[in-house]
Structure 1
Amino acid sequence: MDNTDTYLLNFKGYYFQHSLLDVDLIEHLDDFEIRDDDVFIITYPKSGTIWTQQILSLIYFEGHRNRSELVNTCDRVPFLEHSAHKVDHVNRPSPRLFTSHIPYYLAPKGLKNQKAKIVYIYRNPKDVLTSYFHFSNWLVTFEPSDNIEHFMKRFLDGKVMGSLWFDHIRGWYEHRHDFNILFMMYEEMKKDLRSSVLKISSFLEKELSEEDLDAVVNQATFQNMKLDPQANYDCILKSENWTRTEEGYFLRKGTIGDWKHHLTVEQNERFDRIFQMKMKDFPLKFIWDINEE
């Protein structure tokens, strides 16, 4: 394990966030006991992780839908590899919901029995890059960048939490037959949240009434989540002094195509060349612009 970096920790070729990592858990992750009804949200950072936490919380917990229970989504669907709240996963009641950025090759062996479920959310990498750039400059636990060119270099070198985006999505997709996994595209979720919630709930075998479905869709919109302290992490991060400034929000924009406001023509063309080289044979589609079908 290489822990020489202030911000990042390299474990078996994958970069975790140094200050957030539960080192003991990650060193024994291969043997982490998986229950048949466990559900994992797995993403590359800045791909709709917190959004999907909210969706699953609303699907599984009536008290979350009707607001009778004031529990943060980060506690309902905690990060497996994070040490922040020292969650006792062994004694959590079933069904347990998890969030994780781990690559496929670090997944617990028990996930390969194809009973526990994984929802993998992916997003066009230009918007991931743009969101990640702003996010890293806002949080003190992440290495800031002077400009997006500087961050783009680190992103394309895989020297960020999550390592190389191309490897993360390729790894999970190419080994999809080893897992019980559903791939969902962030942009399709944005365009038709209701259909996406139905697809996710069907995969999870959680039947929702029309009333419950309406509640999930309504409370999982970006604007409603931005106003909901249980869902948006703002209060938690600011109370623990994890932000470099009081300005800004954990949920910044959530739009499709925001990269066009940040990348120059040359940066965009360079990114496209690398994307084509690494992903030309990749079957999953990507949406780069709000008007794209």
Structure 2
Amino acid sequence: MTDTEEETLERDLKCFFREAFEDIAQYATDPPDVQPLVDYFVNDGFMQPKLTEWKGYKMYGIGFNIDTIKWVYENWTPWKDDVIVASFQKTGTTWARYIVRQLYFRHDEKLMAMTKNMAMPTIYLETGLPVKFELLEKLPWKKRVLVTHVPTPLLNLEKIKSAGAKIICTIRNPKDLMVSWYHMTLKFPMNPKATKYFEMYPKDWNQFFDSCFAGKQLFGNKEGEWYMEHLLSWYPHRNDSNVLFVVYEDLIQYQEREIKRIADFLGVAVSDQDVSNITEETSFASLKEKSNASEKLVNFFRKGKVGDWKNYFTVAQSEKMDALVKEKLADTDIKFIYEL
């Protein structure tokens, strides 16, 4: 990358993140200065990715900041009826979030407009800087739809529960998850000089598989850990009164049923027609067509299929994943769905 290309990337990133935060700030009463957030995402997120660590868990670049989730753990209190979609990346996070958005805000035109472009920079607990929460507190909503990708040791679950907030955990088979994550990492607008990033996220599929499988991708995990450890941190909470597990493949097969489950969990009354309308509004095709700038940037809604892993995994890779699942999840009742 030439100096001119690097300058162009930096300029484009500044424009993108400034628009992302200003789009939200226009709805806030006396919003904070968003420039520090823009600078963080551009510089520490993508131009010169920063490594942060807490409790042995690490995050590297892409705007994810372990210091911020530490601040959240120690200082932040959610509101009653806040929903946190807590998931490993590419397991249906955004799909679940849009379903909750429809359930909560579908009768409020202003809140539907305000939340339309909310994405990773603004509503993920662990991204950016703590000043982001000052912005979120000043928006005209009484309950919020937020997201996190971190395992439970990095969340103050007791405080979340006592505040009356609820958590939706999404689960997806690890083979399709890995393929989807691979394609997303190819789209991140990372500075090509960030060699550590490309060591973690190689463009070659086989190298990517090895890096991901070995827990070398630092995205809120300990080195050497991956999806299985994330699931195992959440599994003991599957029956907590404020936690609901949602399976990605069930959303594909039985979307109306799962929307009704989520509505019941949140205490939102819905008619059969409501469920039908929300199903249409949150179908994969609809979400892809209406995706916002952040989602288009990284091809958020790529295929939404079950079994695409067969186009990428070798027999040896598939068997290796099967063995890992059998070893790690032996004491759980989690059964992944790899094809429909």
TM-score (norm 1): 0.83
Change in CA separation of 1:73 and 1:267 when aligned onto 2, cut-off 3 Å: same
Give matches, 1:41-52, under 5 Å: 41-52=85-96
Change (3 A) 1:129 1:8: farther
Measured at CA, do residues 43 and 104 of structure 1 come closer, stay the same or move farther in structure 2, by a change above 3 Å?
same
Structure 1 residue runs of 4 or more that deviate by more than 6 Å after TM superposition: 64-68
Describe the SS at the equivalent of 1:86: helix
C-alpha distance in 2 between matches for 1:224 and 1:66 = 20
Q: Is 2:64 the partner of 1:21?
A: yes
What's 1:246 paired with? none
Relative to structure 1, the CA distance from residue 71 to residue 171 in structure 2 (aligned partners, 3 Å threshold; closer, same or farther) is closer
Distance 1:263 1:65, change over 3 A: farther
Distance in 2 of aligned mates of 1:130 and 1:14: 24
Q: Which residue of 1 aligns with 2:339?
A: 289
User: Which of 89, 114, 123 is the equivalent residue of 2:136?
Assistant: 89
Task: Summarize the Cα distance change of 1:207–1:193 in structure 2 as closer, same or farther, 3 Å threshold.
Answer: same
> For the residues of structure 2 that align with 1:270 and 1:286, how far apart are their CA atoms?
15
Alignment size in residue pairs = 275
1:104 aligns with 2:152: yes
1:70–1:230 CA contact under 8 A, matched in 2: no
Mean CA deviation greater in 175-184 or 273-282 = 175-184
Q: Which residue of 2 aligns with 1:53?
A: 97
Partners of 2:272 and 2:290 in 1: CA distance: 23
Q: Highest CA radius of gyration, 1 or 2? A: 2
Q: Distance in 1 between matches of 2:232 and 2:108?
A: 34
2:278 match: 216
Of 96-105 and 208-217, deviating more is 208-217
Contact 1:257 1:288 in 2 (8 A): yes
Q: Is the 8 A contact 2:91 2:170 kept in 1?
A: yes
Q: Which residue of 2 aligns with 1:189?
A: 251
Select which of 208, 213, 233 maps to 1:151.
208
The verdict on how the C-alpha distance between 1:202 and 1:179 changes in structure 2, with shifts beyond 3 A counting, is: closer
Identity level (%): 28
Q: Is the 8 A contact 2:228 2:328 kept in 1?
A: yes
Deviates more, 1:87-96 or 1:263-272: 87-96
Alignment CA distance shift 1:66-1:128 (3 Å): same
Q: Distance between the aligned counterparts of 1:20 and 1:210, measured in 2? A: 40
Deviations 1:75-131 (A, max 9, x none): 698212222893523334321221111110111241243832100001001111111
Amino acid across the alignment from 1:120: C
Segments of structure 1 that go 5 or more residues without pairing to the other structure are 238-242, 244-248
Match in the other structure for 1:240: none
Distance in 2 of aligned mates of 1:125 and 1:57: 26
State whether residues 50 and 232 of structure 1, in contact with CA within 8 Å, keep that contact through their aligned partners in structure 2.
no
CA distance in 1, matches of 2:169, 2:87: 6
What is the Cα deviation at residue 212 of structure 1? 2.1
Which shows bigger deviation, 78-87 or 68-77?
68-77
Match of 1:268 in 2: 318
* Correspondence 1:252 to 2:302: yes
What's the TM-score once normalised by structure 2's chain length?
0.72
RMSD of aligned alpha carbons: 2.9
Separation in 1, partners of 2:274, 2:294:
21
Counterpart in the other structure of 1:79:
124
Match of 2:5? none
> Is the alpha carbon distance of 1:156 and 1:196 closer, same or farther for their aligned partners in structure 2, counting shifts above 3 Å?
same
Please state which structure has a larger fraction of its residues in helix: 2
Contact preservation (8 Å) 2:171, 2:245? yes
**CA distance in 2 between partners of 1:66 and 1:21 (Å):** 29
Aligned residue number for residue 124 of structure 1: 173
